[in-house]
Structure 1
């Protein structure tokens, strides 16, 4: 079901029922938890919004939702013109940290006034968009960047984004322009190059530092992307440094 356009920001406390409902609308939603859980599905993603999470739904986002427990959420209806310069077209599923708790307190205070101050709500929403932008890097990408030196499965990454494994691979390729394996290799290569330039670690130690068990894996990585062995890369880096 397509819901009509709105012209101004407003918010309300909402309770969701156990019957699944689907719709799409031309405005955005920001959903903040107050009590209970909300089950929401958008495309291939199945999300649970609870006291640990905040959800932003962009305009034209087809989604379905229901709740099986006692619940209450603060839901903002955000007109398209307020969103056009602040967020992309992706669903944002964010951790409900102390910044969001403070923001929710201020938003609730505004909503409880007898006359809603739309300008004040918009200012609070502008701040919320800043928080969203700060966290727009997908959680699985952040996980890869922080844990590239460990064994990482596709199942783990897909679960972080709430995607099926097969869909996650397609999503990652579209989002990053390379496969998960290539992205992981480049993260490891970047760190290996730094270690070769800045330390005297052995080749085996460097291989193990970036997530490989054997030195041969490090050699293959450098031959594939640099065309030389890591030993030659280290020597070339040393020569460039001495000549500068």
Structure 2
């Protein structure tokens, strides 16, 4: 297995023959042209000009490309990575900050007198971007569509995870199951509607995603120890 003791980067072109390997260092992959098809045990991803990819150490992956392509690939020693940045694959949109960072990284790599300290500082900043403000598409989808029926498969596809792994991933990230998280979102909105509107209990139940009033009443009793009507009355009397 190849060992990497210090950071370096190179431009790479990938061929159309699928290759599988694992290594003890991390990769930061920034697209310059074309697309890269990549699979891990849990995810299937397409890295294009709109995304960046971080592969942690010891992550077995397969990859290939069927078109002309070019990527800027960083080799990152495990010792340089923080725990939060080294535990899973990161697949992020290439926003304005990443575009600016890619420009600086590419300029530094093309400089014949590359400054290792400067390159490391750019990488450390990239780790901060990875760790901060990462929005998970499936969680955003739940927050925006909690009032509808949401198949688990839909959520797994949004994160590019196998459906068999998605529930484990969600539990790890959010500390609760998908179903419990969905109930919390619905309950939160139902409580707001009970406090701020005169809608009937049935109308509120249907507005937050329950077909029957009894379903909302059951969730309320489990969470609040009272019925929706009692909650509304207690809010009015405060």
CA distance in 2, matches of 1:130, 1:84: 10
CA distance in 1, matches of 2:197, 2:80: 50
What's the CA shift string for 1:100-131, capped at 9, x where partnerless?
11111111111110111111111211221122
CA distance in 2, matches of 1:3, 1:226: 56
What's the CA shift string for 1:57-91, capped at 9, x where partnerless?
11111111111111100111112222125514010
CA distance in 2, matches of 1:88, 1:231: 48
In terms of mean alpha carbon deviation, does 219-228 or 118-127 score higher? 219-228
CA distance in 1, matches of 2:164, 2:112: 50
1:150 CA displacement: 2.8
1:94 CA displacement: 0.7
CA distance in 1, matches of 2:86, 2:111: 31
1:32 CA displacement: 0.7
Distance 1:200 1:122, change over 3 A: farther
CA distance in 1, matches of 2:13, 2:144: 38
Of 66, 69, 81, the residue aligned with 1:68 is 66
In terms of mean alpha carbon deviation, does 56-65 or 81-90 score higher? 81-90
Of 39, 42, 55, the residue aligned with 2:40 is 42
1:205 CA displacement: 3.8
Question: Is the Cα contact below 8 Å between 1:92 and 1:136 reproduced in 2?
Answer: no
Question: What are the within-5 Å matches in structure 2 for residues 195-234 of structure 1?
Answer: 195-234=193-232
SS in structure 2 at match of 1:70? coil
1:137 CA displacement: 4.9
1:207 CA displacement: 2.4
What's the CA shift string for 1:174-231, capped at 9, x where partnerless?
4434322121111111222233234444323432432234433322221232231111
Query: Which residue is equivalent to 1:172?
Result: 170
CA distance in 2, matches of 1:221, 1:107: 52
SS in structure 2 at match of 1:115? coil
Q: Structure 2 stretches of 5 or more lacking a match?
A: none
CA distance in 2, matches of 1:206, 1:13: 56
Question: Is the Cα contact below 8 Å between 2:57 and 2:86 reproduced in 1?
Answer: no
Root mean square deviation, CA, Å: 2.0
Distance 1:75 1:154, change over 3 A: same
1:98 aligns with 2:96: yes
Query: Which residue is equivalent to 1:157?
Result: 155
Q: Structure 1 stretches of 5 or more lacking a match?
A: none
Question: Is the Cα contact below 8 Å between 1:11 and 1:74 reproduced in 2?
Answer: yes
What TM-score does the superposition give when structure 2 sets the normalisation length?
Answer: 0.90
Query: Which residue is equivalent to 2:129?
Result: 131
1:161 CA displacement: 1.5
Query: Which residue is equivalent to 2:181?
Result: 183
What's the CA shift string for 1:148-189, capped at 9, x where partnerless?
223322121010121232332333334434322121111111
What TM-score does the superposition give when structure 1 sets the normalisation length?
Answer: 0.88
Question: Is the Cα contact below 8 Å between 1:35 and 1:73 reproduced in 2?
Answer: yes
